[in-house]
Amino acid sequence: MSETDLEGTGLNLAVNRHGNLTSASNDQDLTNVLHQIKSSKSPAVINYGSTWCRVCNQILPAFCQLSNNFPKLSFIYADIDECPETTQHIRYTPTFHFYRDGERVDEMLGAGEERLHDRLWLHS
């Protein structure tokens, strides 16, 4: 399996075979992503994390791998240090926000691959 760098994470991760995984590398990217989620009304999950967060770095490879299992969901990674203006409401990393029909419908704080899988299944 080939690998790719998820921009801003410093990690080599398995390539997403569905192309439904992106990263927001600055505030404008994240603003565009949020606007796209609201206008497209397709289900999405945003993983708010940071490079200095040990738990974030532990769950990120699973987040990327799970994107292959849920091709109808858009997966977005946003580093809070790269998007300081649009993530100032995030108080804990990792935080996952789940969107359906353009609206945020759920939030998960912390990690846990099984917990994340169950939430993704629920919202896909």
Name the residues annotated as catalytic: 53, 56
What values do phi and psi take at 117, rounded to 5? -55, -45
| CB-CB contact of 94 with 59 (8 Å) | yes
Residue 85 CA neighbour count, 13 Å, CB half: 7
